[in-house]
Structure 1
Amino acid sequence: MAPLDDEPELRAGLARAGQSHLLRFWPQLEPAERAALAESLRALGAEELGAHCRRAAQAYAREQEQEPGGHPEGLAGGLQPVQPEFFGSVARSEPATLERWEEEGLRQISQGKVAVLLLAGGQGTRLGVPYPKGMYDVGLPSRKTLYQLQAERIRRVAQLAGEKFGTSCKLPWYIMTSEFTLGPTEAFFRDHDYFHLAKSDVVLFEQRMLPAVTFDGKAILDGKGKLAMAPDGNGGLYRALADNKILEDMERRGIRYIHVYCVDNILVKMADPVFVGFCVSKGADCGAKVVEKAYPTEPVGVVCSVDGVYQVVEYSEIPSEVAEMRNPDGRLTYSAGNICNHFFTLDFLQTVAEKFEPQLKSHLAIKKVPFVDEVGNRVNPLKPNGIKLEKFVFDVFQFSKNFVAFEVLREEEFSPLKNADPASKDTPTTARRSLLSQHYRWAQKAGARFMDSQGHPIPEIQSLSGDEEPPAVCEISPLVSYFGEDLEQYLNAKEVQSPLLLDESQAEALRQA
């Protein structure tokens, strides 16, 4: 522990930073508590702490001055959709083209040039659980968690690449955690034997934490001797890559391409070979996977160009007349909805970390932050009382020299888990339904005939609406099929009873039947 003989210096630094209140309860603290508080304050640095608090208060003041519903001046005039030559689409591409991209992606995976990077530092407050989102079980028949589903997809896509090109390949998995999620995530992976991935290929690292700040620029105390801290947003990735020497590790392994995604999407395709192959074929240094916006005012950021620079523009910043513009084919002009699913080259990430990271702007998040009051009682506020500054992972698009976007089908690749039931969307119920509906479609396409518990045929439904449960329950292990491939050998013309859990042993039994 750090010595406390420099307490006067600590007090003087905080006074200069306008943060003397942080030592308000110093006389009441035990020696170990004093040492821990002093260490955290020294790690932040009084000058940097003061600057951080001023930035937060200034950002809040600017936001308060903006007119409700206002849009950044001149934005509409400089707005352009992603140009066709930099835009790919699953739905609008020929099967042969998709196969070519997939083969290129599998080739890169087989050569050990691809890694996946998971953003898992958030607390999942809206989901209402005290553990990382990746450990959440949405209620599938298998009871698999998000972490397990993702680990098994990694194993399967590496297997597919190895089989196609006759190699034994590794697909490293980097997981960015935070102070809140690192310990539980480490223990979870250890307790589950890393889901049969090599321990050396699962690399956990931690992003920075920043103090939460009051509206008038004071750092908030979470306890008498503890600051209220929060992860610095998913855009904290670039600082964390440098701080933890992750880029050096990637270079040592021969990694050239990195697929980055958020933990909460139950349908995410790990190291998606079609997406990777598309980006590599286009010579991209940076790419975004997107879904078509469902309607003009859907609350999702839009990937587009502003004055020639690619970025994600928040839906609230786009004037309604622009959001409602349509192309001759009837599609929305600004339709590329951001889903936090990205491709980067290692060279690009190295350049960002070394050169551009300090230029990333901080975004304001107004939150309810628990705090201790003047007499030391801990308070859980009923309304927002604090500011958290965050950086966004997509804010590096502006530095790309060859940016591309790749549109995928929402029902096949995007169903986030953000809210607790019984919210209307992005809940355990909607995530579970999305996965089971997808697997029902796969089984149906492979020729399965579902029967109920009495042996009666279950009528097929060719097209499910988003809020409709599939007529039969079918879960397919990622170890059996990564994205619906090779299922005919198990299911074609087979009568199977609902619920069906098609794991490796069940698949083998059906194959031999």
Structure 2
Amino acid sequence: MSVQGLNDAIARMRADGMSDVAITAFTHNYHQWESDRSGFIAEENVKPLKQLPSIAEVMTTISAEDAHEALAHTAFLKLNGGLGTSMGLSKAKSLLPVRLHKGRPMRFLDIILGQVVATRSAQGVDLPLVFMNSYRTSKDTLQVIRRNRHFKQTDIPVEILQHREPKILAETGEPVSWPENPDLEWCPPGHGDVYATLSDSGILDTLEKAGIRYLFISNSDNLGARPSSSVAGYFAQTGAPFMVEVARKTQADVKGGQFVFDKTTGTIRLREMSQVPKADLAKATDIKRHPFFNTNNIWVRIDALKAKLAEYNGILPLPVIRNTKTVDPTNPDSPQVVQLETAMGAAIGLFEGSVCLEVNRPRFLPVKTTNDLFIMRSDRFHLTDTFEMEDGNYDFPKIHLDPRYYKLIQDFDERFPYGVPSIAAANSVTIEGDWTFGASVKFFGDAHLADPQNDPDPVTRRDRAYVRDASHVGPRGIEKGDW
């Protein structure tokens, strides 16, 4: 790598008005990337975490008074910088409608605001809410917040603005140039940037002055990460400076990041799947060997975080993660770039006495793809008046929608004009090819629709259809009497 490449990137950041903290963080990540291109964490160097306290076990040790006291001193921080480009979105992902509530389309953002307002009312707490927006999500997000007549917050800012950094050419280490769309020359530094952003913004001092001791951080696309007095109470009771909520893996979670015990440092650390050598993937994805995954629901004591930031001059030295993409995500022929990112949960290794807590599955309901959105919009869920995404057992069917026709949200919505079919009785759903669905369609068992590419009318619309396993009801998995 050339020194000139880093210098050019720094010059671009200064011209863009990036702070010294942002530039220092980028410089740290760039040097780390230069010195260790692999970034791998080998299985032989770690030990799996298998026995952890669960919220179900510890709830009986927390009094209602202590739980309420902890929540009364907690602030809620939502990471809201993502655009959902993998689903074809160009605005904040949190503005995507999730489902109807009393006839009204509810977006992620509406549900988050509803959860906070409902908790404030029920618990009698202030519960400040802050969004970490990016330069692309700030305007639209603030517009929605201002229009919500139920949500009020005056003394504490509702936004801190995430940093941004240049995308780096994979071959040369120089900042990429893309005149066709200069915005695509920039990227966020990953959610690990939350700590530098908190340091830069000065909001930690503001929160402390308001009597806030604890910060609960989660992703805006995880509607299960609701305010919880029980979890807040347990965190306060432990006296730990840092806590991560983890959940027990199913086969659907094998790609999720995991916390492991580092044999070299003697600390807990986060290992993302991108940091696992290929030779170790089988062991790393074995859910018996590594039974827990990272929900990215983080609790941190503000005084401990301020002390740690002061120790490292405002920049936590987190492991860098290489995210290799093309400069234009929609154009596979555009130049290959590296986005230098860090993960929020990786900070666990910096705080002595950090802990993990096993939580129930309802606290992890993310939407990363249209497959996830399909479940969220289905009859598996009910959105309660307190804005809880409620399901019977949270053991969801495996969904596979043909990415050629359902990956992008516009294509997805066009093919489900009456809403997604019923999956209450489905074990799995596989849709191959281009199908458009009518009203009141129901999926049963291992529902499977084969690609109708040789059908004279491949784009099919029918109401009240029953879709099951093709082996039981015909070559295309359709109940013949109803389709």
Among 286, 310, 328, which residue is 2:268 paired with?
310
Corresponding residue number in structure 2 for 1:290: 246
SS at match of 1:275: helix
Separation (CA, whole Å) in 2 of partners of 1:231 and 1:268: 22
1:393-443 residue CA offsets vs partner (Å, 9 max, x unmatched): 111101222222121222x22221112x3xxx32x2122348715869x99
1:276 paired to 2:232: yes
SS at match of 2:423: coil
Q: Which has the higher helix share?
A: 1
1:197 paired to 2:161: no
Among 191, 195, 201, which residue is 1:244 paired with?
201
Shift of the alpha carbon at 1:115?
0.6
1:89 paired to 2:54: yes
Q: 1:325 to 1:210 in 2, by over 3 A?
A: closer
Separation (CA, whole Å) in 2 of partners of 1:462 and 1:108: 29
Among 371, 396, 400, which residue is 2:351 paired with?
400
The alignment's TM-score, normalised by the length of structure 2, stands at: 0.69
Q: 1:21 to 1:275 in 2, by over 3 A?
A: closer
- The amino acid across from 1:466 in the alignment is F
Separation (CA, whole Å) in 2 of partners of 1:249 and 1:368: 40
Percent identical pairs in the alignment equals 20
Among 408, 430, 439, which residue is 2:375 paired with?
430
**Cα pair 1:115 1:255 within 8 Å, conserved:** yes
**Cα pair 2:13 2:166 within 8 Å, conserved:** no
Q: 1:48 to 1:283 in 2, by over 3 A?
A: closer
- The amino acid across from 2:353 in the alignment is N
Separation (CA, whole Å) in 2 of partners of 1:264 and 1:176: 13
Corresponding residue number in structure 2 for 1:505: none
Among 186, 189, 193, which residue is 1:232 paired with?
189
1:164-208 residue CA offsets vs partner (Å, 9 max, x unmatched): xxxxx3110111111111122112212334x42334445201111
Separation (CA, whole Å) in 1 of partners of 2:216 and 2:383: 22
Corresponding residue number in structure 2 for 1:12: none
Separation (CA, whole Å) in 1 of partners of 2:377 and 2:206: 35
Among 232, 250, 254, which residue is 2:211 paired with?
254
**Cα pair 2:26 2:165 within 8 Å, conserved:** no
Query: Aligned residues, how many?
Result: 385
- The amino acid across from 2:135 in the alignment is E
Higher gyration radius (CA): 1
**Cα pair 2:59 2:234 within 8 Å, conserved:** no
The within-5 A match list for 1:60-459 is 62-63=37-38, 72-73=41-42, 75-81=43-49, 84=51, 87-91=52-56, 93=57, 96-97=60-61, 100=62, 103-109=65-71, 112-141=72-101, 142-162=104-124, 169-193=125-149, 195-201=150-156, 203-215=158-170, 216-223=172-179, 226=182, 228-270=185-227, 272-295=228-251, 298-307=254-263, 308-315=266-273, 317=276, 319=280, 322-323=283-284, 332-356=288-312, 357-370=315-328, 380-382=331-333, 385-410=336-361, 412-419=362-369, 421=370, 425-426=371-372, 428-433=373-378, 436=381
1:17 paired to 2:14: no
Shift of the alpha carbon at 1:323?
4.4
Shift of the alpha carbon at 1:37?
9.5
- The amino acid across from 1:145 in the alignment is R
The alignment's TM-score, normalised by the length of structure 1, stands at: 0.65
Separation (CA, whole Å) in 1 of partners of 2:143 and 2:97: 17
**Cα pair 2:18 2:163 within 8 Å, conserved:** no
SS at match of 2:131: strand
**Cα pair 1:464 1:470 within 8 Å, conserved:** no
**Cα pair 1:131 1:181 within 8 Å, conserved:** yes
**Cα pair 1:37 1:226 within 8 Å, conserved:** no
Shift of the alpha carbon at 1:463?
6.0
- The amino acid across from 2:364 in the alignment is F
Separation (CA, whole Å) in 1 of partners of 2:26 and 2:55: 49
- The amino acid across from 1:114 in the alignment is T
Separation (CA, whole Å) in 1 of partners of 2:289 and 2:33: 37
Moved more, 275-284 or 381-390: 381-390
Separation (CA, whole Å) in 2 of partners of 1:286 and 1:53: 23
User: Where does structure 2 lack aligned partners over 5 or more consecutive residues?
Assistant: 398-421, 426-483
Shift of the alpha carbon at 1:40?
2.2
Separation (CA, whole Å) in 2 of partners of 1:50 and 1:171: 32
Query: Cα RMSD over matched residues?
Result: 3.9
SS at match of 2:16: helix
